[in-house]
Structure 1
Amino acid sequence: MKKNLWIMLSLVSVVLLLSGCTEFDQPISSESNGFWNEYIVWPLVSFIKLFADMFEGNAANYAFAIIIVTVIIRLIILPLTIKQVKSSKKMQEMQPKLKELQAKYSSKDAATQQKYQQEMMQLMQTSGVNPLAGCLPILIQMPILIGFYHAISRMNATPDAFELGTFLAVPLAEPSIVFAVIAGLIQYVVLMTGPAVDNPQMKIMMYIMPLMIVGFGIILPAALSLYWVVGNFVSVLQNLVIYKPWNKNKPDATDAKGAK
Structure 2
Amino acid sequence: MEKIKGFTGFKKNGRLIGIVAAVLAVLLLSGCGTGMSEINAQTPGFFNHYVVFPLSYLLVHIAGWFGGSFGMAVIILTLAVRLLLLPLMMRQARSQQAMKRVMNSMQPELDELKRKYEKKKDRDSQQKMQQEMMALYKKHNFNPLNIGCLPLLIQLPILSGMYTAIRFTPDLAAHSFGWFQLGKPDPILAVLVACIYLLQSKVSQMSMTPEQRKQFAIMGYLSPIMMAVFSFSAPAAMPLYWTVSGTFLLLQTLLFRKLYPSDTAEKSTDVKLNDAKSKVKTVKG
For Structure 1 versus Structure 2, the TM-score category normalised by the shorter chain is 0.7 to 0.9
Aligned length: 249
The answer on 1:251 being equivalent to 2:262 is no
> SS state of the match for residue 69, structure 1?
helix
The answer on 1:181 being equivalent to 2:197 is no
Quote the offset at 1:52 in angstroms.
0.6
The answer on 1:81 being equivalent to 2:84 is no
Structure 2 segments unaligned to the other structure (5+ residues)? 1-10, 279-285
Q: 1:91-130 alignment to 2 at 5 Å?
A: 91-97=99-105, 99-106=107-114, 107=117, 109-125=126-142
Q: What is the TM-score with the length of structure 1 in the denominator?
A: 0.82
Q: 1:19-58 alignment to 2 at 5 Å?
A: 19-21=29-31, 23-24=33-34, 26-56=37-67
Quote the offset at 1:207 in angstroms.
1.8
C-alpha distance in 1 between matches for 2:128 and 2:206: 33
The match for 1:167 among 177, 180, 184 is 177
1:197-231 deviation digits (Å, cap 9, x = unpaired): 51615444322221221121111111111111111
Between the two proteins, what is the percent identity of the paired residues?
27
Mark the CA change 1:249 to 1:22 in structure 2 (over 3 Å): closer, same or farther.
closer
* Structure-2 residue corresponding to 1:231: 245
The answer on 1:67 being equivalent to 2:75 is yes
CA contact (8 A) 2:203 2:254 kept: yes
* Structure-2 residue corresponding to 1:4: 14
Quote the offset at 1:105 in angstroms.
2.8
Q: Counting helix residues as a fraction of each chain, which structure ranks higher?
A: 2
* Structure-1 residue corresponding to 2:225: 211
Instruction: Let me know the Cα RMSD of the aligned residues.
Output: 3.0
Structure 1 runs of 4+ aligned residues shifted over 4 Å read 245-248, 252-257
Structure showing greater Rg: 2
Q: Which amino acid aligns with 2:137?
A: M
Mark the CA change 1:98 to 1:75 in structure 2 (over 3 Å): closer, same or farther.
same
Mark the CA change 1:99 to 1:216 in structure 2 (over 3 Å): closer, same or farther.
farther
Quote the offset at 1:10 in angstroms.
0.8
C-alpha distance in 2 between matches for 1:67 and 1:143: 19
> SS state of the match for residue 174, structure 1?
coil
Structure 1 segments unaligned to the other structure (5+ residues)? none
Q: Which amino acid aligns with 1:2?
A: K
Q: What is the TM-score with the length of structure 2 in the denominator?
A: 0.76
